[in-house]
Structure 1
């Protein structure tokens, strides 16, 4: 009798082991979620124009001072699931005129640039803010002090569900009617 129970116990042990191995094989065979493709757009919260920019070597369009959004460039690949170590490398050229345009409008374009154009090219690797399974467009925020924030969202600025909580960029010192 003892050998019968021992044989039965061994059989159950082997069944359990086989079941565990089969479950492990099935779970290992689950495909990883496919990466998502995200369009690139930018928002400029600075007084300088963003002449060009790229995110992970994929180009976005130029952005006026205190402007942006509206158009999408193609594309970056993002993991389907956000992780804390997720980063984006942003490379951009930002610049502006050092004097009011009215002071140099009589000069040739070459003279204007030589005299009064200032630009800088910068690169930063920054975290991508958390995003959900719905993904969205990759949105690059150009902030004062050469700071960058990167969000992934289906919502535009000012929408209550946008993860940044920010409104569309506005010039804090808009030109007066005389200056226009």
Structure 2
């Protein structure tokens, strides 16, 4: 009967335990490294804002973070009819990682409205489809708008906003 000498048998278990422990430490260290390099859920970035106006009236708007770190931080922007996207305003703080419940205050008024009339809505920022990016406020009518964060511009195949085809009267 071939028996393993005691010195080999006794050394195998500790060697196996050390190997498993090292593998666990390496895996945990790698996991911790990944967590450290990714943003914390409430870490803010200073987002820029572009306004796109598909209506026939000029619009003035502002977008403000409703919670972090100081409510009211944001940017204001105005643009003429059927215009926008030509510039950016800084800075609207938004979380670097999306999570449910990110609220933004959007206020706006159109040029044809009587003085003092303004709409204020608290809206939830939708999922960042491609990670945190540039903020876009897009007006489709006086009462319908989109607010989204994306790395893509309108017209790009991966643009997450509503697709709007230009009409002939836009070109005149």
State whether TM-score is above 0.5.
yes
Residue number in structure 1 paired with 2:69: none
2:48 maps to 1:39: yes
Residue number in structure 2 paired with 1:101: none
Instruction: Give 5+ residue unaligned stretches, structure 1.
Output: 99-115, 175-180
Residues 135-169 of structure 1, C-alpha deviation per residue, up to 9 Å, x if partnerless? 54211123436343223334432343422252377
TM-score, length of structure 2 as denominator length: 0.65
RMSD across aligned positions (CA):
3.5
Contact kept in structure 2, 1:67 and 1:169, CA below 8 Å: no
Instruction: Give 5+ residue unaligned stretches, structure 2.
Output: 66-72
2:110 maps to 1:95: yes
Secondary structure, counterpart of 1:119 in structure 2: coil
One of 44, 67, 73 as aligned partner of 2:83: 67
Residue number in structure 1 paired with 2:9: 5
Residue number in structure 2 paired with 1:15: 19
By how many angstroms is 1:50 displaced? 2.9
Residues 20-39 of structure 1, C-alpha deviation per residue, up to 9 Å, x if partnerless? 02331343134333565432
One of 39, 50, 62 as aligned partner of 2:59: 50
Residues 35-54 of structure 1, C-alpha deviation per residue, up to 9 Å, x if partnerless? 65432111133455432312
2:155 maps to 1:158: yes
By how many angstroms is 1:128 displaced? 2.8
Residue number in structure 2 paired with 1:177: none
Question: How many residue pairs are counted as aligned between the two chains?
Answer: 154
Cα distance change of structure 1 residues 23 and 161 upon mapping to structure 2, 3 Å threshold: closer
By how many angstroms is 1:72 displaced? 0.5
